[in-house]
Structure 1
Amino acid sequence: MQSLDMPAIQAAARKLEEGALVALPTETVYGLGADAENPEAVAKIYAAKGRPANHPVIVHLAPGADIGYWAIAIPAEARKLIDTFWPGPLTLILKRAPHIPDAVSGGQDSVGLRCPSHPVAQALLREFKSGKGGVAAPSANKFGHVSPTTAQHVRDEFGTDEDSPLACILEGGQSEVGIESTILDLSRMASHGPVLLRPGHISAAQIEHVIGMHPRMPDAAAPRASGTLEAHYAPSTPVALVPPEELADTMKRLSNAGRRFAVILRTQPAAAAIAQIAMPQSPDGYAHDLYAALRAMDAAAADVILVESLPAEDEWQGVNDRLRRAAHDSQGILSRLLS
């Protein structure tokens, strides 16, 4: 990692303290940050993203921050997970302290908290309010779009001219993890136990190993959380998930029908595709490259992006979750293109 640009980080911290928006790198994706205790600043996030007002954001904290300032009734399980996985890609949903504005929780009585491991994010959080503040930071993209994993992705999304809603964009290289954090609800431990609201880099099995309980799947009364709508993380081009054994035939039929297609795959090359990307074989490598691949294939101006379906094992859960949501609004696209 290159040395930190502390003047830029310090300037960004002052912008946050003034109520402006700052894009910052994290190990998961780039975030669109605002002072979590300033409802007017948080409202700028919602306006810039076009985000529904009842869709909560995650508050990012500096290492060693006082969790008790942000949350109440903190269960022992939360402390164990913090000791094990923070800083890192795990968000905990806890009961929100009464003095924390509900702007960050979409009006709910809970709050999502995370401590990122990216050195630029940590430096910014330590500078912001002398390390005692929190930065609300959903992904730095328009609501529902593919999340950014580089500073250039953020510039592509929001521009850099005077009309951009961002005061600045901090550079931090490509995000190491590449998909958003695991979100675990611990706000209802007595009645529901731990509930996995969004899978990510940290798996349910890893969580169980630490707290001795396997997280449940979300129920109807579970708190709303970032990135959990059925349609999310989607490029402009329709996305279709295709089993490996059907991929060659699907491409042949699309080619015969005169359709333009791009392909994200793990096996054989696609001769007739107008653009294609071969992805890593490991879940971590695939997650790292996923959003950049979706953005690159979106730029190919194809009729559809074919994605070779992935294994169903637990370690692929986070990536499969993102692809399922990216393809949700494109259901039936292949039938329409081939009819």
Structure 2
Amino acid sequence: MKTKVFVARDNQIEEAELKEASAVIRSGGLVAFPTETVYGLGGDATNPEASRKIYAAKGRPSDNPLIVHIADFSQLEDIVAEVPQEARDLAEAFWPGPLTMILRKNEVIPYETTGGLDTVAIRMPSHPVARRFLQDSGCMIAAPSANISGRPSPTTAQHVWEDLQGKIEVLLDGGPVGIGIESTIVDLSEDQPMILRPGFITQEMLSQVLGQVGMDPGIASENSKKPPKAPGMRYRHYAPKADLTLVEGHMDQVIAKINALTGEAQVKGQSVGVLATAENQDAYIADHVIVIGQREDEAEIARHLFDVLRQFDTLGVDVIYSESFAAAGVGQAIMNRLLKAAGHKRIFV
């Protein structure tokens, strides 16, 4: 299969190219497209075969549910058993935007899309290319991140091309994304609203709308026996090819520990990469130090995270050591992704 690339200029796709991409979706094919969070790998959410193609292209476990992207709130009403007031309130506050809600599904969305669950994950993206594509196709589009399963999520069209060229019909190139980490997922199918994946929409922001919002303990679990209700809850995600370890503690001690570990690895002949903030980049002795951003600018760090992990792949390092980040706000989402990428390997100093 030859993958066609259609480039958006000023967030606009040529009409003929948009029509071709929409026709691919309606016929059961796959189209990668930009959202404000990461690039998504899209197929018709109501078509079981399209969902099976998504799992096959990514090499994704079939019990890992897909997120259904919609263009209008009325489409949510079409696919769920009931729309609780909490969903209406969150949509009013955060849609279009980087928030996914989990609700009880009806028969419109097949189990192939929900990973066999009776719930469905839904979000309304704000990226102009995504919105126009959804509207033109007339479809609700199931779209996990457009990468090989387990790899760092794609934040540029080049990342998608590296992983999926020849496996999908069309790639809509909208340039680098704005947020860089996947949407916050909140489960509204149980008695208490519960965050299943942290993101740019924080627990504090959700609580301002709904009151008390919990944080599911499964977020930090690698060994849960229960089916994952949301993407990223069980399986290792976002991982670079090299072995990644987080080092956490007072910054002076973190730097000293990373340098000690670097020296040990270099004696063994290993190439070492360090994921660092700008304030500390000159303190490290590693072969490759990549700056992820200013420590006080969490949005910048989130935006660069997956690209930095992919840069280490390009450099071919053997091991990576990373600074840690705040456990609140957007920092919580950053640490969630880094811990998943590291297989929960971290050192406290």
Output the TM-score relative to the length of structure 1. 0.90
- 1:69 offset after TM fit, Å? 0.3
Task: Give the conservation status (yes or no) of the 8 Å contact 2:11–2:128.
Answer: no
1:314 aligns with 2:329: yes
* Structure 1 counterpart of 2:195: 196
Q: Per-residue deviation at 1:332?
A: 8.5
Counterpart of 2:285 (choices 249, 272, 297) is: 272
Q: Where does structure 2 lack aligned partners over 5 or more consecutive residues?
A: 1-8, 219-223
1:283-326 per-residue CA deviation (whole Å, 9 max, x = no partner) reads 11100000000000121111101111122233310000000000
- Tell me how far 1:200 sits from its aligned partner: 0.6
The one-letter amino acid of 1:2's match is D
Q: Does structure 2 retain, via aligned residues, the 8 Å contact 1:230–1:328?
A: no
- Report matched runs for 1:32-51 at 5 Å: 32-51=41-60
Moved more, 306-315 or 76-85: 306-315
Cα offset for 1:144? 1.1
Cα distance, 1:180 vs. partner?
Answer: 0.6
Residues in 2 aligned to 1:90 and 1:209: alpha-carbon distance in whole angstroms? 15
Q: Distance in 1 between matches of 2:87 and 2:50?
A: 28
Aligned to 1:337: none
Aligned residues: 322
SS in structure 2 at match of 1:299: helix
Letter in 2 for 1:279: I
Q: Which residue of 2 aligns with 1:154?
A: 160
Q: Describe how 1:172-321 pairs up with structure 2 within 5 A.
A: 172-189=174-191, 193-218=192-217, 224-243=229-248, 244=251, 245=253, 246-266=257-277, 267-269=280-282, 272-280=285-293, 281=295, 282-321=297-336
Q: Work out the CA distance in 2 between the residues paired with 1:297 and 1:36.
A: 34
Pairwise CA distance, 1:64:
4.0
CA deviations 1:160-210 (Å, max 9, x no partner) are xxxx12111001111111011111000113xxx111110011101100001
What's the CA shift for 1:248? 2.9
Instruction: Name the aligned partner's letter for residue 303 of structure 1.
Output: D
Q: Is the 8 A contact 1:255 1:272 kept in 2?
A: no
Alignment of 1:43-62 (within 5 A): 43-62=52-71
1:136 aligned residue: 142
Q: Which amino acid aligns with 1:198?
A: R
- 1:214 counterpart letter in structure 2: V
- Give yes or no for contact 1:298–1:305 (8 Å, CA) kept in 2: no
- The one-letter code of the counterpart of 1:135 is I
Question: Aligned letter for 1:184?
Answer: V
Distance 1:317 1:27, change over 3 A: same
Per-residue displacement from partner, 1:19-73 (whole Å, max 9, x unpaired)?
Answer: 1100000011101100001101111001111111111100000134431101122
In 2, the alpha carbon distance for the partners of 1:269 and 1:252 equals: 16
Q: Deviations over 1:217-251 (max 9, x none)?
A: 24676852111225211111111112342223322
Residues 223/297 of structure 1: CA separation in 2 closer, same or farther (3 Å cut) = closer
**Which deviates further from its counterpart, 96-105 or 283-292?**
96-105
Per-residue deviation, 1:257: 4.0
Shift of 1:98: 2.2
Residues 3 and 199 of structure 1, relative CA distance in 2, 3 Å threshold: closer
Q: 1:222 to 1:204 in 2, by over 3 A?
A: farther
2:110 counterpart of 1:95 = no
Find the counterpart in structure 2 of residue 4 from structure 1: 12
Over the aligned positions, Cα root-mean-square deviation in angstroms equals 1.9
Q: For residue 290 of structure 2, give the secondary structure of its aligned residue in structure 1.
A: strand
Q: SS at 2:55's partner residue?
A: helix
SS of aligned partner of 1:72:
coil
Contact 1:207–1:215 (CA<8 Å) still a contact in 2? no
Q: Which runs of 5+ in 1 are unaligned?
A: 334-339
Shift in Å, 1:273? 2.4
Measured in 1, the distance between the counterparts of 2:227 and 2:63 equals: 14
Cα separation, partners in 2 of 1:3 and 1:25, compared to 1, 3 Å: closer
Which TM-score applies when normalising by structure 2? 0.87
Q: Which amino acid aligns with 1:289?
A: H
Aligned to 2:171: 169
Q: Percent identity?
A: 40
Q: Does 1:70 align with 2:79?
A: yes
Inter-partner Cα distance in structure 2 for 1:317 and 1:62? 28
Give the stretch that moved more between structures: 297-306 or 172-181: 297-306
